[in-house]
Copies of this chain bind each other. A is one copy, B any other.
Amino acid sequence: MQIGKVIGRVTATRKDERLVGTKLLIAQPIRLDGTLTGTPIIAVDTVGAGVGEQVIFVVGSMAARAIANEGAPVDAAIVGIIDSLDSEQ
């Protein structure tokens, strides 16, 4: 899984019907010190994350497991809100 920060939200009226009702957040991958790295992605929120929160997100087919509608074409999902990152770095 990756460490990210929720930086925003996407709205899309015309979308796959199995994405209707999902909360599409913009997750920016971050380093351990919180600085930004890589490209923001769109992830389905499954734990009530809000803008500014540090989160755990999963990518690829495993992301679809986190979604209520497991048949949805989803490749990224937020599956945790980080309390703390304890690291040597």
Please indicate the chain B residues that have their CB under 8 angstroms from the CB of A32 in the complex.
8, 26, 40
B12 and A56 within 8 A (CB): yes
Assess A1 versus B74: contact at CB under 8 Å? Given A7-B87, A39-B38: yes
Please indicate the chain B residues that have their CB under 8 angstroms from the CB of A89 in the complex.
7-8, 28, 40
**How many monomers of this chain does the complex have?**
5
Residue-wise, chain A 28-46 has the 8 Å CB interface mask toward B (1 for contact) of 1101100001111111001
Assess A41 versus B80: contact at CB under 8 Å? Given A59-B75, A61-B61, A88-B51: no
B81 and A15 within 8 A (CB): yes
8 nearest A-B pairs in the assembled complex, by CB-CB distance: A8-B87, A15-B80, A12-B80, A66-B73, A1-B42, A16-B79, A65-B73, A14-B81
